[in-house]
Structure 1
Amino acid sequence: MEAVLLVESTKRKLQEFRESGFNPLLKKIHLFCGKNNIQILNMEEEYINEKGHRSKRQRHDFTNQHYYNFDCFNVVVDWFSDINTELLQNMTTFISYDSFSKFDELKLTRLCEFYPYDFDSREKITLSHQLGLYIDNVQKDERYANLNCIADLSRVMVETRKHISFPLVYRLLKLTLVLLVATATVERCFSVVKNVKTKLRNRIGQDFLNACVVCSIEKEAFESVTNEDVINRFQKMKFRRGQL
């Protein structure tokens, strides 16, 4: 629950920053430019793109101020504020603190809808029945009395073999546990793709792109691979006239 409150506070502060943070930031930029003899852009002038001309569809009153405030600053802030609070709130209903007092069957049923590829329509109906039996079962089981977090709940479910009795509940619990890790991994992957597929490599093939991205993401795994291993693998792929 504390995590949800922190997320909501962060979103409110980001919204405040979005509404009133551009001008203070612009003043700091102007001070930095002045100290370092960098030419300061006139924010009241008409915006000209990197090619040196304005777009044919651009309004005549489209100023630098408008472009950098609404098309750059606000967009970046929105990236950070686009957090699904509902998803986090639904996750917290799994917490076993205080005899599962936060448990909410409707919210957990809603949570499975965030994973359309992991639960089909039949399983969603079955899950709602399993959740009712599950909460009645664990609330009366002393082994679940002193759990502090979702990770402990997952561990004890396996130890007590309730993951077999309630397989869909356990599947939803596992998806909840890996959510933060999976999200961070996906974000890192997109960052790597942007670095690999640049303007100079805009025609890179899918297989070659995948290979480059994997090498960039799994750096630790590739630290043990030597140049000799790569050369031997390359030579064995097919017959070659010359030896590297």
Structure 2
Amino acid sequence: MSILFLLSIIIFRFWKTKQKRATAVQTPIVDQVRSKDSLTDEVIVTRKSYISRESKTEDLELPLMEFEAVAIATNNFSDGNKLGKGGFGIVYKGMLPDGKEIAVKRLSKKSLQGTGEFQNEVRLIARLQHLNLVRLLGCCVEKGEKMLIYEYLENLSLDSHLFDKIRRSNLSWQKRFDIANGIARGLLYLHQDSRFRVIHRDLKASNVLLDKNMTPKISDFGMARIFGREETEANTRKVVGT
């Protein structure tokens, strides 16, 4: 009887040890699956929130604006409020009820930059904060429209100064150096110091905006790509950008 009892204890302890090992091995795998599921859910929720107003704005990290509010702010997208035009569409100046000035980039129906570029820009700029990057205030996805709402920058784009005879004469060499230096700081942040390693791929004078103090701010991230921290090169499938 004592031998049977001793064997029973040994078998029971062996079984318990095996169970603990199995649990220890299985737990990280379960955690990994849960992590992947939560990441997938986050991406799905984020993408849905650009297309649907059913999702909470917290998932966006960016406010959604009503179409009517944007239309009122831009005087119903009047020609008098036009600031410029690019591959994405027309940019309008607007003013919110509290007096804050905004710039509204409205996706053209004929634009070569579609929903993918729109989502790409929203995802990137909403999470990147730097003195030399344009600030995205919100977006509007309603009634078949896709619009991005930015801070308004009084001195428009760099190309409007470089290629205008009158404005060009006001750009001293010191001011030109300060602008170039600010652009370089913005790129350094994108390439090394931000949470994501971002390659802009469409950096040109028209995509550098200037505030009232002529501080440069890089804009238009529709063609940008996120790189892994260990990646040093990548291949593209088509020619894009500048």
Structure 1 length-normalised TM: 0.23
- Larger proportion of helix: 1
